[in-house]
Structure 1
Amino acid sequence: MTRFVLLEPVYESHYNPIAHLESVLKTIITCFLNPSQRARIGPMPGTPDHVLGEDCPELVYVRRAIFAHDGPAFFKAVTDINTILRDIKYPWPPDTLGNPLKQVVSSWTKTGIPDAVLFQVLDETRQRSVGHSAAQLSEAKPWSDKVYGELLPPLVHDLGSGIGNVVVQASLQAGCRAYGIELDATRARIAKEMVTNLRTRCLLWGLKIGDIELEEGDMLQSARVTELIPLADVVLINNEIFSSQLNENLRLKLVHLKEGAIVISLECFRASCFSKRNAWLVLLRGGLSLIHFQPSDTSRIFDVECILYPSDSVSWTNSRGGYFIHYTNRTALRRSRPRGSRVGR
């Protein structure tokens, strides 16, 4: 059970427990209840559109109380909804099929977790892990190999995993085994809190996650990174402003990837790729969403695509930009090598 302290934040950007409570109720109603169950909560007829809203009319009592700053009405509305949800979750006489809300989660096996539930759980996890350390995260030296920045949820082995956003999302959304390494001690500590809080949130929401492994250390020196690179299916590297030397050192590690493995990065690891700025210009001017780089340098093992991401996808800018998907493909490299030579050494 989650308890909400109903305080109003001083600043609009701060955590708002009332808005969070409304968001939780909306997610439960829209994603966990069937039409007949939603009808038990029901909207209030004749409520103005600016109070009712069109996305989740079942919350009209709650929204009307919030809009009117009516505390008693708010408590009554939430209590009434909780009573209905409790009756649905624990029917009487007891349902031999068990908790119907858990059955809804089981039905997502083929379709995946709904985006609303995914983002709700990730947001709750982040609020409980990052809020009290937000000031420390801004202390990172800008425009350096140790700079801090996060890929936001809609964009998703994370090298330079920061506070663990991508690691926890991959584990939750795909159910995969996820590993992340972060050099900065503060970010590494927050990442571990993220994992702990994610496990708690998943228990509350009835969700399962994959195995998560986090490490505080240097990705170039880590024995664990060296061990996992050949096993990885997907490697993510936020190397937006890494130095050329660091990117080259990382590229040398990536040559040990298995065939078919994918590397996603914000800078290209192929020496033959033209600059990302030029790639963006081609994407923007031509209205394209995809550019394919044919392998032309025999010292490289990647086929590379540059894809345009929309605005508000990363934490350091509201502008759109591009990222690179590298597909490990040694076919062309093998064809270009003299007979008898060995590939991958």
Structure 2
Amino acid sequence: MFLNANKPKIRTKTVTVKKTPAATAPSAAQTRPSHPGRSCSGPPANRYQVSTSAQAASREPARRQPAVRHVQRRRVSPGTPQWASSDDESDGDDARSRKRQKTRPGSSSSEPTAAHRTLEPDLGRRIRMREREKGEHANGASDALVQGMAMSSGDEAKNYKAAFAGCDGNPVLELQYPSPTRPERFEAVNPLDVQEGYSPLEDIYFSIEEMIQHYLPSDLANDLSSDTEGTVRLLKRAVSKNSPHDFQTELAKFNTLIKDSVMNGTVARIMDEMHAIPLSLVKRITAQSYNRIVSPHAHRLRKVKGKETTYGELLTPFVHKIFQQTGLNSTHTFVDLGSGVGNVVLQAALQTGAESWGIEMMPLAASLGTKQASELEARARLWNLSLGAIHLIAGDFLETPDIDAVLRRADVVLVNNKVFGEKLNNDLLQKFLDLKDGCQVVSLASFGGGAKHGVRHEQAIAGLFDEERYESGTASVSWVGESVEYFIARKAR
């Protein structure tokens, strides 16, 4: 180790976030229709409560240690929050979901203040899907799309019960999205385990709410969101009355409205005035992809051989906060080192339009990440949204030339290094020597010696980075409900 007393120290300051109570979303009785002409009797009783599976990649130690500096940490009065915004509020869906492992939460109208939370407008980005992106799927769904109906059929059928009692078979439901694609098909069933199972009905409800809020004119959206006569309310009422005919009628009316709004240019006009995708919509789409691809394998992801292969996830609102702090946008390049099933990479491509890269060495997680990327691309076409370029690699980030190349031009780099060993963190620092000035590195353990459990106080790169410490707020990561510390280091020299 070689220290130079004349070199500047890494400047670190502690920033605390005011802790706010997690929103508690009221539960909703499940409801669904059937095909006209099928007789049913007796209302089902069901509630939708979902969860999120937790996971983030880690690695084995390796290699030599770079030059370092002690880090000075500024003392902050615990009663004086220095960084807070509306995004500091915990999300009720994610707070509940952290306790379970099978499904990710969707958005719901129970979060009115969060419905329009967005990143800063990106005036250079076109949100609506371009004609060339529609390609051969302009008039049909992508082959990669996992239909909602597939989630409750086949081997999974044993985990579901009819949503309408007395029906001659389970009705097939169709939901039209705000694009020229064909409707997605669902089965009118409820999960036997409301804590763990995927709910086709709630998937439809949450999706309708997002379309109403973000794809239609505000006056129409207000009418359709009514607590007494709104679309979702009428659908739920039809289920409680066990009236598949009423349900099917209301769903058909909504589908026709959406089709007409696409055809007459209303959806295009609204989307072209949109320069940031609302967080609630990001949550809805990523939850759809995650529930179809990752959730069925969550139990396998939790089986790890040791600390070096521990898996955990950063939850969607926390990732939104990181994107907001770093200013990530469609002109930037984002890299996730240890990307797991690709959640953050996919959120970056969807929410910011950035060129987004991820690399993961655990085979199962990497495989699911590739499949989830295909699902997200198909879902983006349904929702008429343009994505940034997505690149997911299976491999070791220390030994992959493509990652070395992209790091040299990266604008934001994320690494969940909370359980990394000292040697691996020092190897990462060697990689970071080649980052361009201004690049921001987001980590869950300090590279400047500021982490509570860090033993690298003399092993951070001297004078190259300015690092700041933050608190995530509660319900931000999958492995713990309490707030966690994280760090943003900017390449300054």
Task: Give the TM-score range, shorter chain.
Answer: 0.7 to 0.9
Please name the residue that 2:485 is paired with.
Answer: 322
Report if aligned partners of 2:360, 2:395 keep a CA contact under 8 Å in 1. Answer: yes
Q: Does the alignment pair 1:167 with 2:340?
A: no
Pair 1:64 & 2:232 matched: no
CA contact (8 A) 1:41 1:84 kept: no
Mapped pair 1:127 → 2:288: no
Matching of residue 274 in structure 1 with residue 450 in structure 2:
yes
Match of 1:81 among 222, 238, 254: 254
**Alignment correspondent of 2:403:** 225
Question: How many angstroms apart in 1 are the aligned matches of 2:415 and 2:225?
Answer: 47
Q: How does 1:169-248 map to 2 (within 5 A)?
A: 169-248=347-426
**CA displacement at 1:117 relative to structure 2:** 1.5
* Secondary structure in structure 1 of the residue aligned to 2:467: strand
Are 1:308 and 2:471 an aligned pair?
A: yes
Report the CA distance between 1:35 and its aligned residue: 3.2
Are 2:188 and 1:6 equivalent residues in the alignment?
yes
Unaligned regions of 5+ residues in structure 2, if any? 1-182, 320-334, 455-459
Distance 1:120 1:79 in 2: 22
What does residue 281 of structure 1 align with? Answer: none
2:304 to 122, 133, 140: 140
Amino acid across the alignment from 2:248: F
Aligned length: 292
Output the amino acid matched with 2:187: V
Supply the RMSD in Å over aligned alpha carbons. 2.3
For 2:383 and 2:450, the matched residues in 1 are separated by: 46
Structure 2 partner of 1:17 = 200
Query: Tell me, which stretches of 5 or more residues in structure 1 are unaligned?
Result: 279-296, 331-345
Q: Closer, same or farther in 2 for the Cα pair 1:89/1:230, shift >3 Å?
A: closer
| Cα distance, 1:231–1:127 mapped onto 2, change above 3 Å | same
Pick closer, same or farther for the CA change 1:241–1:67 going to 2, 3 Å.
farther
User: Higher helix fraction: Structure 1 or Structure 2?
Assistant: 1
Q: Distance in 2 between matches of 1:304 and 1:226?
A: 22
Do the aligned residues in 2 keep the contact of 1:162 with 1:187 (CA within 8 Å)?
yes
Give the drift of 1:231: 0.8
Q: Cα distance, 1:67 vs. partner?
A: 3.8
The code of the aligned residue for 2:450 comes to F
The C-alpha deviation readout for 1:114-139, integer Å capped at 9, x for no partner, is: 12211111111111211232222111
Distance of 1:151 and 1:178 partners within structure 2: 16
AA matched with 1:18 = L
Query: How far is the alpha carbon of 1:303 from its aligned partner?
Result: 0.7
Cα distance in 2 for residues equivalent to 1:233 and 1:118:
22
Match of 1:118 among 268, 282, 291: 282
Q: What's the CA shift string for 1:48-87, capped at 9, x where partnerless?
A: xxxx7xxxx4422112223444433322221222223233
CA distance, structure 1, for counterparts of residue 199 and residue 342 of structure 2: 23
Contact conserved, 1:40 with 1:84, CA < 8 A, in 2? Answer: no
Give the equivalent residue in structure 2 for 1:299.
Answer: 462
Higher RCO, Cα 8 Å, sep 6+: 2
**Distance change >3 Å, CA 7–CA 308, structure 1 → 2:** same
The aligned residue for residue 341 of structure 1 is none
With the length of structure 2 as denominator, give the TM-score of the two structures. 0.56
The alignment-based identity, stated in percent, is: 30
Q: Is the 8 A contact 1:9 1:16 kept in 2?
A: yes
How far, CA to CA, are the matches of 2:406 and 2:225 in structure 1?
52
How far apart, in 2, do the equivalents of 1:316 and 1:108 lie?
34
